[in-house]
Chain A
Amino acid sequence: MSFFGFDTSLPGTGKSKDENPASEGKKPLDFEETYRGFGDYEEEDYLNEETFGANAELGTDFDFGHGNGSATSQGTSSGQGSVAPGSYITSNRSYVAAARQGDSQPLEPSVDLKPMESLWSGGAPQLQQQQPPPPQKVTETLSMEELERQQRQRQQMAAQQGFVVPPPGYVGPQTFMQQPSPPPQANMYPPSFAAGGLPPQFPMMYQQGQSPAYPPSQEVQQQAAAAQAAQVQARVQAQAQAQAQAQAQAQAQAAQAQAQTQAQAVQAQSVQQAQGPQFPQPLASPGDPVPAQIQVPGPGAAVSPRARFSSPQFGPQHLQRSRAPVRKDPLTAEEQKRLQVRQAKVERILKHSGLMTPRDKDFITRYQLSQIVTEDPYNEDFYFQVYKIIQYGGVLGESNKDLIARAYLEHSGHRLGGRYKRADVALQRMQSQVEKAVTVAKERPQKNRDHVDTSRDGVLGKISSAMNSKAPRKQLQIPAPKSENAESAVMDDVSSPSTSNASKSSTPALDVVTDSLENVEISQRSRARRRSSYAFSSVDQSSVLSRSGGRKFVLSLIETVYGVVLELEEQLRSGRQIDNSALWDALHIGDESYDVCPFISMLSFDKGIKIMPRIFNFLDKSQKLKLLQTFFDELSHLNIIIISSYKTNDSPTESQLKKIDLFQSIFLKIIVSFLSNSANFIEIMGLLLYLIKNNNVSFISTSKIGLNLITVLISRAALIKQDINRSNVLSSPEISAWNGVYDKLFTSLETKLSMVFPPKEYMDKVVSSGSRPSTAVSSPSINSTIQSYDQAYIWQFLASLALSGKLNHQRIIIDEVRDEIFGTINAAEQLGSTEQDQNVSMYKREKLYQDLNLFLNVMGLVARDKEITELK
């Protein structure tokens, strides 16, 4: 029936008569119970066992994982588990009996299971590798020491148990004769265990865990020993069917024979302990407890720790736990627990140990690193690099690779430096890895072209160049040509050139469009358009935007400027020559093709304002001057003026107020610093002239920002004039020019000076919407009471206006704002009487007087306690 003429009787047949008192015992073959008519099939399919295992049941009960699950589970789960194992305790049986028993069903599953397990567990390759080589050859590879150790262990064990230890060659038979010789590697478990005949899995595995170097050699030895036990081989072969390879068969059988013998020994012991009912059947395997046991000490030991541990069903933990209560006598509870904890630890460590060689690890590390490192970390890792510099003041590019190495070392868990705790060595290694990774990264572009990298796809996870962390999949796909069309369509002013451009639509549309726009002659409305009725035609921001190319155009222009600035900044960092012509072009200063200069419209957006300081870094003085000239020239179009004027925007929203603040803190600051640092008197005069000439000054003066701007100009001019007056270098034409400019300014403001004061409702609105966010931040008690419209900027303006003017100018100013002066004084005095909080009212009062005196002091006056007196 079987391949080698073995007795491959069906499950149950091997159960010996004498040790099976309970049920099937004493019946070598209970035909009625075991025979299911499968013999009919087997007549023809005599290789079935080779293929499916000796006790694979034919029929509808397809239990692939556990060959004879149903047959034996009946017996064991019905409380007869103690009996079934008991059948192996014959100590005086003949070889034949042992052999017969050897193929008795409880053991077979182990053999069957092993290949199954190897299929699914990580240990599979090892298992197969270990078995093929001929045993003789393997034996040679053993060192003398190992052999000796092996023998010593056996002797020790046997001696403890009072058995004579035969030479390794007889291991197989010996165990078959039911001498409870434990597996060799179990030599160190406490004598009490051995004496008590306890199955030694527990300490055994523990030991294996401790000395990971052990198992392979032992296993080899076992195989060798088993191979020498030639008699057994023949019997065992029947169970080795799963190892279908013909040439490997002998070895496989040998290994399994060994496994079997050990299992038998173990089982015998366990049965002697009469612990049958507590057997871990349910945990160990669905049907049969015995295979589980075998799995652990026998082939498990022979294979590799991993193979064992990775099998969930036969995991030692399960066995351990389920068996723990049984062992109470030899071990105290704490000891047990400690051992368990320790063992669990070892298991955890061993679980995946040795999966990869250091070379493998290096390889993986290198590939992972190559995704991280780049030739140009500053460029591709911009945020991190700059953030680090900003936060910690690090030096740019400072051993970036070292940092990566260190970081990677940390999170790859290598930092301990392995066995010898050589952290420095580990770091060095990692550094060299990073070096190599950089090389790989450098080579990557070429490789991508050749699609070499794709061959590694799936091996190391997804490393395709098309879609990686650098170029993630886009959630939003915007077809590029369409957007270009949209952009050009927006530019209503110049439809013809833009359409011609859109037809090209190959390059980044914007640059081309803007470039060509510069060359386009626009005569239609170019000059005539200018400044007829500014103030109120400019109120609508969208109209302003559309007159400067459209909202989209302006926004994309800002982005272009950002791009150029970023490039320039990079040039600056790398110390290259800076060429700001692209930036200047992008700003469209002096570009006459738009009604409103795009630059002015750029200032309508927060991000346009924010980029200004960085733009100024790259402009030379004449460019700055030109820019400011344009700015003052078209001030009326400035969105910020419009929203900060009470005339055009009588109820500013919170966001608008924020915008005003932003503009003041950024752009006004730039202007002030430019005026005070680099502009000379004539230039300032020129700027003022631009402002007066082309704008509705009285409208601008109704806005806070506008008033601030005028103040900045005239006060700076006045300061320079004073300085120069002292040194007498100001030529008379300059002075007369200044007087002319001033007169013009004054004339445009005359009779409207009181309009610089916003109406009370406006001030209240600003205060209420402006104070809302601030109350949340600072203590509300002070804030809510102190809040009042800050008129300081108005008094500053009047002061600087008066400072530059002559006496008659000052007189006119006072005449016009007389109401406001006395109104302020009255308000200040009222504060003292009505306010509850003395401190607050005092502060407010002081503030009002201070602001007022800014102006009055210029004319040698001072307001104090309801009275205006001469300044002493």
Chain B
Amino acid sequence: MLFFSFFKTLVDQEVVVELKNDIELKGTLKSVDQFLNLKLDNISCTDQTKYPHLGSVRNIFIRGSTVRYVYLNKNMVDINLLQDAARREAMTEKK
């Protein structure tokens, strides 16, 4: 739930998603669900020459399991809060 909660705060922010097949997509995160499926809008592929077929795609739905990394801007994250949230999560798991 922590990651879901975390990614929800990134909605409407620009992120770069690297997929497990090495495609990197930059776009505005539109939504995320509990499987961490992502919906991106206004996407642009960082390697346009390699994946020209993505040039005409504007928005995309990404299955969460195919995501390798999501690159974030540092100031999108409240680190202290994230630490707290992680601790809370760990606490509830222990119980």
**Interface residues in chain A, defined as those with a beta carbon under 8 Å from any beta carbon in chain B:** 368, 371-372, 379-388, 390-391, 407, 410-411, 461, 468-471, 508, 559, 562-563, 566-567, 607, 610
Contact = CB atoms under 8 A, between A and B. Distances in A.
Interface in B64-95: 78, 80-85, 87-89, 91-94
Contacts of A368: 33-34
B4 interface: yes
B3 to A, nearest CB: 8
Given A383-B6, A387-B9, A470-B1, A411 B88 contact: no
Contact of B5 (A381, A468, A567, A607): A381
B35 A469 contact: yes
Contacts of A387: 9, 78, 81
Contacts of B9: 383-384, 387-388, 391
Nearest to B94: A508
A372 B33 contact: yes
A383 B35 contact: no
Contacts of A384: 5-6, 8-9
B91 A566 contact: yes
Interface string B22-45: 000000001101111001000000
B57 interface: no
Nearest to B34: A469
A383 B2 contact: yes
- If over half of B's interface residues share one DSSP class (helix, strand or loop), that class is named, otherwise mixed; here it is helix
A469 B31 contact: no
Contacts of A411: 30-31, 33, 39
A407 B81 contact: no
Contacts of A371: 34
Contacts of A390: 78, 81
A461 B63 CA distance: 13
| 9 closest residue pairs by CB, A with B | A383-B85, A411-B31, A469-B34, A384-B5, A383-B5, A384-B8, A387-B9, A382-B85, A371-B34
Contact of B1 (A410, A469, A607): A469
Given A388-B9, A390-B81, A411-B30, A380 B1 contact: yes
B25 to A, nearest CB: 18
13 contacts: A371-B34, A379-B88, A380-B1, A381-B8, A383-B6, A383-B82, A383-B85, A384-B6, A384-B9, A411-B30, A471-B93, A562-B87, A566-B88
Interface residues of B, number: 30
Contact of B81 (A380, A383, A470, A471): A383
A386 B4 contact: no
Given A372-B34, A386-B81, A469-B3, 8 more contacts: A383-B2, A383-B5, A383-B82, A384-B5, A386-B84, A390-B78, A566-B91, A607-B83
A510 to B, nearest CB: 11
B1 A407 contact: no
B81 to A, nearest CB: 6
A382 B78 contact: no
Nearest to A562: B87
Contacts of A470: 1
Contacts of B30: 410-411
Nearest to B2: A383
Contacts of A469: 1, 3-4, 34-36
Contacts of B36: 469
A381 B78 contact: no
B79 to A, nearest CB: 10
A411 B4 CA distance: 15
Nearest to A564: B91
Contacts of A386: 81, 84-85
Contacts of A381: 1, 4-5, 8
Contact of A563 (B3, B39, B85, B87): B87
Contacts of B3: 469
Contacts of B4: 372, 381, 469
A487 to B, nearest CB: 14
